[in-house]
Amino acid sequence: MTETPNSGPPQEPSRKASPVRVLVMLLVGGIVLAGGGCALFLGTFTGTTSTVLDRLGAVSFVIGVLLFVAGVLWAIVLGLARLLRK
């Protein structure tokens, strides 16, 4: 069997994500992760003993909140940078 070379146009190199896209991913991802972690924690919380799922839910909630806060701070920095650039 002989392989034929690809005669199509060459692929473009991958581009970096825009700062706005990163910001949206941080904000939305943080909210989703925090909501899922909260639901996991409350769904498995028994009040008497702590299980692995309780801890996992609590940790994912905290990480989600931190990601959301990072997204908000990123938005402030982007806004100030665009304001100062003009």
CB 37 within 8 A of CB 64: yes
- Residue 5 amino acid letter: P
- Three-class SS of residue 65? helix
Give the ranges where the chain is alpha helix by DSSP (H). 19-44, 52-85
Task: Find the mean pLDDT for residues 38-48.
Answer: 85
- Of the candidates 58, 60, 72, the one whose C-alpha atom is nearest the C-alpha of residue 28 is 72
Share of the chain above pLDDT 90, in %: 44
For residue 8, what pLDDT is reported?
67
Residues in the chain: 86
Give the pTM: 0.73
Task: Find the mean pLDDT for residues 9-28.
Answer: 82
For residue 65, what pLDDT is reported?
95
